[in-house]
Structure 1
Amino acid sequence: MGDLSAMRLDEEHPQRRTARLKLFEPAEMRHGTQVQRVHLLDLSVAGALLHTTEPPEAGSTVMLVCPKFTRMAKVAWIKERRIGLSFIRTLGKAELAETISPPAAR
Structure 2
Amino acid sequence: MNNQSPFLAGNAEQRRHSARHKMFGPVTLCVANAEMRGHFLDLSTSGALAHCETPPAAGSYVEVKAFGVETSGRVVWARGKRFGIQFSQPMTDEAIDTVIRGS
TM range (shorter): 0.7 to 0.9
Matched, 1:47 2:47: yes
Give, in whole Å, the separation in 2 of the partners of 1:52 and 1:41: 10
Give, in whole Å, the separation in 1 of the partners of 2:13 and 2:72: 23
Q: Aligned residue for 1:83?
A: 83
What displacement does 1:100 show? 2.4
Tell me, what secondary structure is at the counterpart of 1:13? helix
Q: Which amino acid aligns with 2:23?
A: L
Aligned sequence identity (%): 30
Matched, 1:22 2:22: yes
Consecutive unaligned residues in structure 1, runs of 5 or more: 1-10
4+ aligned runs moved over 6 Å, structure 1: none
Give, in whole Å, the separation in 2 of the partners of 1:56 and 1:26: 16
Q: Aligned residue for 2:3?
A: none
Tell me, what secondary structure is at the counterpart of 2:59? coil
Give, in whole Å, the separation in 2 of the partners of 1:55 and 1:99: 20
Q: Aligned residue for 1:57?
A: 57
Give, in whole Å, the separation in 1 of the partners of 2:23 and 2:40: 6
Give, in whole Å, the separation in 1 of the partners of 2:102 and 2:62: 26
| CA RMSD, Structure 1 to Structure 2 (Å) | 1.8
Change (3 A) 1:25 1:14: same
Q: Identify which range, 79-88 or 61-70, moves more after superposition.
A: 61-70
Give, in whole Å, the separation in 2 of the partners of 1:54 and 1:100: 23
